[in-house]
Chain A
Amino acid sequence: MIEIRVQEADFDMSAEMLALSRDDFAAGALASFVGLVRSEGEVLAMTLEHYPGMTEKALAEIAEEAKRRWPIRRVCIVHRIGRLLPGERIVFVGVTAGHRHDAFAACEFLMDYLKTRAPFWKKEYTRAGERWVEARLSDDEAASRWRLDG
C-alpha cells in the first residue's frame, strides 16, 4: 500500500503513523521522518512551489522503487506546499516493514530520492528580501549512494 498526498494543510504525525500500522500484524517495524522549516533567526517564512501532476507521479515512482528494493509493507508520503513558518512541518515519510533494518533503509532512501527527484522548490523570506533556495551538492551525493549501477 502506497499513500501519496500533496497538500497545503498541516498533517498529524501521530495519525499518519497509526494509519500506517493499523491492522497489519506482519509489520514489526515503523520508521518515519518529518522535515521541518529550519530557521536560525534569519528566515521568517518559506513558500513551497511544485509541479502539479508530476509531483504526485514522481513521489509514487520513488515509493515504488523503494518497494522493489526492500521487503517493505506500507509507504506514506505527505508533502506540504504553500506558505510555511519556522518550526512548521514540511514533509512526512513513513514506512512499515517486517523488520527495522528494511524500514530504516527504505525511509532514508525515500527522503534522499525525494530531495533530488520530486519537483518542489523552496523560497525563503528574510528581512533582507526573498531568495530561492539553491540545490545542495550534498543532496545529489546522498541520493547517488543508492545507485545500483555503482
Chain B
Amino acid sequence: MTSVLLALFLQLSVGSSARDSLAANIASFSQRFNFTLPLIVVLFIFMFFLLLKSYTMETQESAATTDASKPNGEGQKRTAKTVKKVKAGT
C-alpha cells in the first residue's frame, strides 16, 4: 500500500508533462488520471476494513476465555497453557 501511495504522491508532485507520461506508463492501472484517486481511496477503505476485521475479531475470540484478573483473556490463555503443562507433568 505504501508503494501505491508513493506512486500517487510521485504522480501528483511532478510537473504536468512528466505527470502525463507517468500516467501513460501506468495506463493499465488507470486509464484516466481522475480515476486514480477514487481507486486509491476505495482500495484504502477496503484494506482498512480488512485490518479492522482482524483487529476487532480478537475480542470475540478472547471473550470466550476471559479471565477477570487479566485484560481480555490474556490470563486465561496462560492458565490454559499452564494446566496442559501440569497435566503433562512438565
Whether A and B are associated in the same complex: the answer reads: no
Q: Taking beta carbons and an 8 Å cutoff, which residues of B are in contact with A?
A: none
Q: Taking beta carbons and an 8 Å cutoff, which residues of A are in contact with B?
A: none
